[in-house]
Amino acid sequence: MAATPIAVITGASSGIGAATARTLAAAGFRVVLTARRKDRIEALATEITEAGHQATAYPLDVTDRAAVDEFATAFRSLAVLVNNAGGALGADPVATGDPADWRQMYETNVIGTLNVTQALLPALTASGDGTVVILSSTAALSSYEGGGGYVAAKHGEHVLAETLRLEIVGTPVRVIEVAPGMVRTEEFATTRFRGDTEKAAKVYAGVDAPLTAEDVADTIGWAVTRPSHVNIDLLVVRPRAQASNTKVHRTL
């Protein structure tokens, strides 16, 4: 009897990460949930287990390389890694942006993804059929005013995915990048605007049906369950109301 394939999801405490964990668990993976908030991922692991699936919670800060390396020792073989941990801080112009915000976004989105991918790549390769998913953003592909720091970090993540794919071609590991546009989750915009819920709500004002975390999770679930020889290099997903990062239809 074949062992249950394992999927590691970073940033699984809320939003797209939590939704992806539920989706992959329902698809037959044993999901390993990582995030800094221990209570959140433990509650999610309990929810998934009570639904009849397999889940384990492991508190982890992806920017802590020593902790990531210790986490990786638990895996001899791994089917899927979903690099979801990341996020945005602030919406200031380049001229006045806080370098500390830029540094934190780069550390979380780029270095965090690098840390976990490097640490788990041997186990992904050992599986004979591994998949690395990098959750970037449409910000990884084009810029917009007030997004300089986040755009720079997501461009870095996009290039990481492209370069890794070139470097490991011929190995049994595929690299998938999923780049969502406007997604309304419970925390993304609120975190970006440091708890200002009014400012966060304006991001989605008048937009008919922004994407949900479940929409993106469904996309990830589809991509990782394609036949092994099929690689979804880059999948851009936006709501119908959004044509680009700067062109959104609003009814106000």
9-47 confidence digits (pLDDT tens):
999 999 999 999 999 999 999 999 999 999 999 999 999
pLDDT score of 198: 85
Mean pLDDT for 99-113 is: 97
Would the pLDDT of 196 be above 90? no
pLDDT score of 201: 86
- Tell the burial category of 21 from Cβ atoms under 10 Å away from its Cβ (0-12, 13-18, 19+): buried
Is residue 90 within 8 Å of 192, Cβ to Cβ? yes
- Report the C-alpha gap between 83 and 163 in whole angstroms: 16
pLDDT score of 194: 82
Q: Give the closest residue to 237 by CA, choosing from 251, 247, 217, 249.
A: 217
Strands 247-248 and 242-244 come out as antiparallel
Give, in degrees to the nearest 5, the angle at Cα 5 between 39 and 82.
Answer: 55
- Report the C-alpha gap between 188 and 222 in whole angstroms: 23
pLDDT score of 52: 98
Would the pLDDT of 1 be above 70? no
pLDDT score of 206: 94
Catalytic residue numbers, as ranges: 150
pLDDT score of 228: 96
Average pLDDT, the chain: 96
What are the tokens at 130?
A: 């591994």
Mean pLDDT for 235-251 is: 96
Angle between helices 148-168 and 99-106 (to 10 degrees): 20
Mean pLDDT for 210-239 is: 98
At residue 200 the predicted structure's pLDDT band, cuts being 50, 70 and 90, is confident
For residue 229, the Cα-to-chain-centroid distance in whole angstroms is 23
Mean pLDDT for 109-118 is: 98
First to last CA, the chain: 57
For residue 244, the Cα-to-chain-centroid distance in whole angstroms is 20
% of the chain at pLDDT higher than 70: 100
pLDDT score of 154: 98
pTM confidence score = 0.95
Would the pLDDT of 2 be above 90? no
Least confident of 50-59, 175-184, 198-207, 236-245: 198-207
Is residue 42 within 8 Å of 17, Cβ to Cβ? no
Mean pLDDT for 134-162 is: 97
Contacts with 170 (C-beta within 8 Å, 6 or more apart), sequence order: none
H or E segment and range at residue 237: strand 234-237
- Report the C-alpha gap between 132 and 119 in whole angstroms: 12
**75 DSSP β-pair partners:** none
